[in-house]
Amino acid sequence: MSTSLTSRRAFLGGSLLFVGGVALAACGADDAVKAGAKVTLQQWYHAYGEAGTQQAVIRYAKEYTKANPDVAINVTWIAGDYSAKLHSTLLTPKAPDLFEIGDFLYIDVKNGLLAPLDDLVKGQEAEYAEATLAPAMVKGSHYGLKMMNDAMVLYYRKSILEKAGIAPPQTFAELAAAAKKLTSREQKGLYVGADGIGNASYLLLWSNGAELLDPEGKKVIFNSPEGVAAIGGLKQLHDDKSLLLDFTTDWGDPAAFIQGATAMQWSGLWAMPAIKKALGDDFGVIAWPKFGDAGQPVSRIGGWYAAVNSKSKHVEEAKKYLKWLWIERTDLQKDWCVSYGFHVPARKSVAAQTTEFSSGPAKEAADVLANTSRAYSNLWNTAMDTVFAQAVVQIAKSGGDAKTLFDEAAVKCQAELDKQLA
């Protein structure tokens, strides 16, 4: 796996399968214009791999136009490197009026690309988890409206752990011991990604109370004693040879777990339907275990935000559509999250009404999401991620000194952070 931010954050939702090219879907905008629509909004989505998603967003847009005849909406379905295409187009007159963002970047706000959405979020804050609100906030203003949440959890095979006399691990020491005991010629104990790194480096830091940046977002602090100690856990897993490496699919795909190549796998909620179809009830999910007694269990939160182009000629119309779709229409929010893939509605009240998350492993995953989820800071960019990842690889795979390598990486990341904040 590449050490780029794009690859490390690739699994933001269940929309993992892309098709070639750029598909354009006119959602009846031409007909609406002929019928008297005064405004046509251009809306971009990345190409979700789940069947029915494209038809769904077109249906939502048509329904809005039916209720608001003055506004037509053209949906553009973007395949390939969505983020690169979006950012290059946002600098041109052809930029869409509203669009999705997977990972918020501070620089987008600094460069004036995004319109603030405070008037939409105000009064709704209690509906969202802090890990949902924080990434899309800059200097107290909101720049994104969360569409759905994706929990990332640790899957384990119940029968395999029970046969080995192992309880679901509650600490990293228990996780490492379980992974080692469950490793055999036919099966590895744990899969965190084809490169043996995946999200594990971040999870280890967070689970030991370490952070990438200080609370003010002005200082790089992953080289704290807690961070250095936690990253040693990844080296331990490699030294124990208990990690599945170089599997044909990466951690976001459940194939390794379903095929029995690993007893435990870090993956996303989006993988659960396929796992349940293949394994029935023979699996469970937990958060990444706390590193030590002073730590805490953690998980990653993914998903997508709806945003508005600050340079659009129709900012207010775009915001009204987002409010209608992602705040007012709870029925469409549930439809979007569970009728095609498997995601938790971003708003707590809607998630509570979604019966698919009321029992079993799905409820357990939703609880993990609600109680332990963490997200990247919008100041943590590609350059910083690359430097950090290079240090992690040297520590975990080459036996480099964690303190030295993290100190050196922190200096480089601090320079990048200072550049952003300048």
3-state SS of 168-199 is CCCEHHHHHHHHHHCCCCCCEEEECCCCCCCC
Question: Roughly what angle, to the nearest 10 degrees, separates helices 225-239 and 172-181?
Answer: 10
Asked, colleague to colleague, whether 5-150+302-362 and 151-300+378-421 share their fold, the answer is: yes
CA–CA gap between residue 406 and residue 87 (Å, rounded): 31
> Residue written as tokens 């949906």?
75
Q: Residues 344, 366: contact at Cβ < 8 Å?
A: yes
pTM of the model: 0.91
- Give one word for 410, left, alpha or beta, with left for phi > 0 and alpha for psi -120 to 50: alpha
Token pair for residue 42?
């251009």
Residue 265 pairs in a beta bridge with 155, 191
pLDDT tens-place string over residues 220-278: 999 999 999 999 999 999 999 999 999 999 999 999 999 999 999 999 999 999 999 99
CA–CA gap between residue 136 and residue 116 (Å, rounded): 10
R_g of the chain, CA atoms, integer Å: 22
pLDDT at 304 over 50: yes
Percent of the chain with pLDDT over 70: 92
CATH H-level superfamily of 5-150+302-362? Periplasmic binding protein-like II (3.40.190.10)
Residue 152 pairs in a beta bridge with 268, 300
* Domain map (residue ranges) of the chain: 5-150+302-362, 151-300+378-421
DSSP character string of 216-228? TS-SB-TTSHHHH
CA–CA gap between residue 35 and residue 58 (Å, rounded): 18
DSSP character string of 119-184? HHHTT-GGGS-HHHHGGGEETTEE--EEEEEEEEEEEE-HHHHHHTT-PPPSBHHHHHHHHHHT--
pLDDT tens-place string over residues 38-58: 999 999 999 999 999 999 999
pLDDT at 103 over 90: no
CATH number corresponding to 151-300+378-421: 3.40.190.10
State the alpha helices, DSSP H only, in 211-307.
Answer: 225-239, 255-258, 272-279
The continuous run of DSSP H or E covering 91 comes out as none
pLDDT tens-place string over residues 409-420: 999 999 999 999
Q: Residues 7, 1: contact at Cβ < 8 Å?
A: yes
Mean pLDDT of the chain: 92
Q: Residues 250, 224: contact at Cβ < 8 Å?
A: no
- Say what the pLDDT of residue 29 is: 54
- Say what the pLDDT of residue 170 is: 96
pLDDT at 132 over 70: yes
The continuous run of DSSP H or E covering 29 comes out as helix 29-34
